[in-house]
């Protein structure tokens, strides 16, 4: 069973470019720190200040450990400055079509 992280980010209007830069910094830092994951950032075509992210992880323990790091907290705090809301989820894969 593959665990995933998923988040919906609602960005303050006019701060979308800043959000994308800050989110990319978080993703780059995550990889540089050696976390075995990859992430996808999607933007809602109809609501350009809404973004969705998701990515697979090796274990649920890795997700918890990553979220508990100081580096994660620092980067999410920077992101929070440009956000109206943020909904993070931890999910498990049930089915994937081929």
Structurally, how many domains does the chain consist of? 1
CATH of the domain at 53: 3.30.70.100
Query: DSSP characters for 81-92?
Result: TTEEEEEEEEEE
- Contact predicate 20/70, CB 8 Å: no
Q: Is the pLDDT of residue 1 over 90?
A: no
Does 13 map to a domain?
yes
Does 71 map to a domain?
yes
Does 97 map to a domain?
no
Does 41 map to a domain?
yes
User: Where does the pLDDT of residue 48 fall: very low under 50, low under 70, confident under 90, or very high at 90 and above?
Assistant: very high
Does 86 map to a domain?
yes
pLDDT tens by residue, 6-20: 999 999 999 999 999
Does 98 map to a domain?
no
Domain that holds residue 25: 3-92
Q: Measured between alpha carbons, how far is 87 from 51 in angstroms, rounded to an integer?
A: 11
Query: DSSP characters for 7-69?
Result: EEEEEPTT-HHHHHHHHHHHHHHHHHTT-----EEEE-SSSTTEEEEEEE-S-HHHHHHHHTS
Q: Measured between alpha carbons, how far is 61 from 98 in angstroms, rounded to an integer?
A: 27
pLDDT tens by residue, 59-76: 999 999 999 999 999 999
């Amino acid at each position: 069973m593959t665990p995933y992280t998923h988040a919906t980010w609602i960005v303050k209007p006019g701060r979308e470019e800043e959000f994308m830069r800050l989110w990319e910094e978080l993703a780059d830092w995550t990889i540089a720190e050696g976390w075995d994951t990859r992430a996808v950032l999607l933007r809602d075509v109809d609501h350009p200040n809404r973004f969705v992210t998701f990515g697979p992880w090796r274990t649920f323990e890795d997700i918890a450990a990553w979220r508990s790091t100081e580096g994660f907290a620092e980067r999410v705090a920077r992101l929070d400055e440009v956000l109206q809301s943020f909904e993070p989820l931890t999910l498990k894969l049930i089915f994937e079509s081929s």
